């Protein structure tokens, strides 16, 4: 019998940014149109342990890939976000929730400088329910977000026609509405 390889499934709080993150950055892509709604500046952090077969960015599964996050890069991201045509910041990876030191620092600065005039989207391999049982740093990052695209990439459910996600199990979640209601509320602009 051939067994299909699946992503890893951590126990609650098994993987912690404090132990895993090396604060490395795989990429920074300013002014792009593909990582969420509108024009966005995207930060790709390094390191992910889900190991989804078919991962779109396998090289960034390595926690040591790329340069270390720097104050200069953060300043550049904030300068780029100030452009009036930029809707917001996107966090991807790698796994943003295993690099909360970087992501929380940046998002908190965004909120301090722009309040909610800029939005924040993040992708994660964790599901919404898994994140509710996670460490305080992960919950703190979740609370700062506007949109979360949740769940592993499951090759058997791959669908290239979906908005902003690769497999049908993943959801585009309205974070403030979900936190307020205690259940997952999907993004209002979802078409497919």
Pick the closer one to ligand SF4 by CB: 51 or 185.
Answer: 51
What angle do the packed helices 136-144 and 100-114 form, to 10 degrees?
30
Interface with ligand SF4, residue 47, by CB under 6 A: no
The answer to whether the beta carbons of residues 158 and 167 sit under 8 Å apart is yes
Residue in the shown chain whose Cβ atom is closest to ligand SF4: 125
- Order of strands, edge to edge, in the sheet holding 39-45? 25-32, 39-45, 86-92, 119-123, 147-150, 171-174
Interface with ligand SF4, residue 61, by CB under 6 A: yes
Stretch that binds ligand SF4, among 23-31, 47-55, 73-81, 102-110 (CB under 6 A): 47-55
Pick the closer one to ligand SF4 by CB: 43 or 78.
Answer: 43
In the block, residue with structure tokens 């592993």: 152
Stretch that binds ligand SF4, among 23-31, 33-41, 55-63, 83-91 (CB under 6 A): 55-63
Task: Give the shortest CB-91-to-ligand SF4 separation in angstroms.
Answer: 12
Task: Give the shortest CB-93-to-ligand SF4 separation in angstroms.
Answer: 5
Pick the closer one to ligand SF4 by CB: 23 or 86.
Answer: 23
For residue 107, how many C-alpha atoms fall within 13 Å in the half-sphere facing its CB? Answer: 27
Pick the closer one to ligand SF4 by CB: 7 or 88.
Answer: 7
Query: Which uninterrupted H or E stretch holds 110?
Result: helix 100-114
Size of site (CB under 6 A) for ligand SF4: 15
Residue 173 phi, psi (nearest 5)? -110, 135
Interface with ligand SF4, residue 125, by CB under 6 A: yes
Q: Exposed (0-12), middle (13-18) or buried (19+): which is 75, by Cβ within 10 Å? A: exposed
Task: Give the shortest CB-49-to-ligand SF4 separation in angstroms.
Answer: 8
Which of 55, 56, 152 lies closest to 97 in space, CA to CA?
A: 152
Stretch that binds ligand SF4, among 37-45, 72-80, 90-98, 179-187 (CB under 6 A): 90-98
Helix, coil or strand: residue 171: strand
Q: Give the interface with ligand SF4 as residue ranges (CB under 6 A).
A: 7, 48, 50-52, 55-57, 61, 93-95, 125, 152-153
């Amino acid at each position: 019998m051939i067994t299909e390889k699946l992503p890893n499934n951590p126990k609650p709080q098994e993987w912690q940014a404090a132990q895993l993150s090396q604060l490395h950055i795989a990429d920074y892509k300013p002014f792009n149109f593909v990582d969420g709604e509108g024009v966005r500046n995207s930060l790709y952090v390094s390191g992910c342990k889900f190991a989804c077969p078919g991962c779109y960015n396998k090289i960034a599964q390595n926690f040591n890939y790329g340069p270390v996050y720097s104050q200069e890069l953060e300043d550049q991201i904030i300068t780029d976000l100030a452009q009036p045509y930029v809707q917001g910041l996107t966090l991807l990876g790698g796994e943003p929730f295993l690099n909360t030191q970087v992501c929380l620092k940046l998002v908190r600065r965004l909120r301090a400088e722009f309040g909610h005039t800029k939005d924040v989207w993040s992708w994660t391999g964790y599901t919404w329910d898994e994140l509710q049982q996670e460490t305080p740093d992960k919950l703190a990052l979740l609370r700062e977000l506007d949109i979360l695209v949740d769940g592993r990439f499951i090759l058997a459910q791959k669908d290239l026609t979906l908005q902003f996600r690769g497999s049908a199990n993943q959801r585009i979640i309205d974070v403030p509405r979900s936190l307020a209601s205690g259940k997952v509320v999907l993004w209002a602009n979802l078409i497919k």
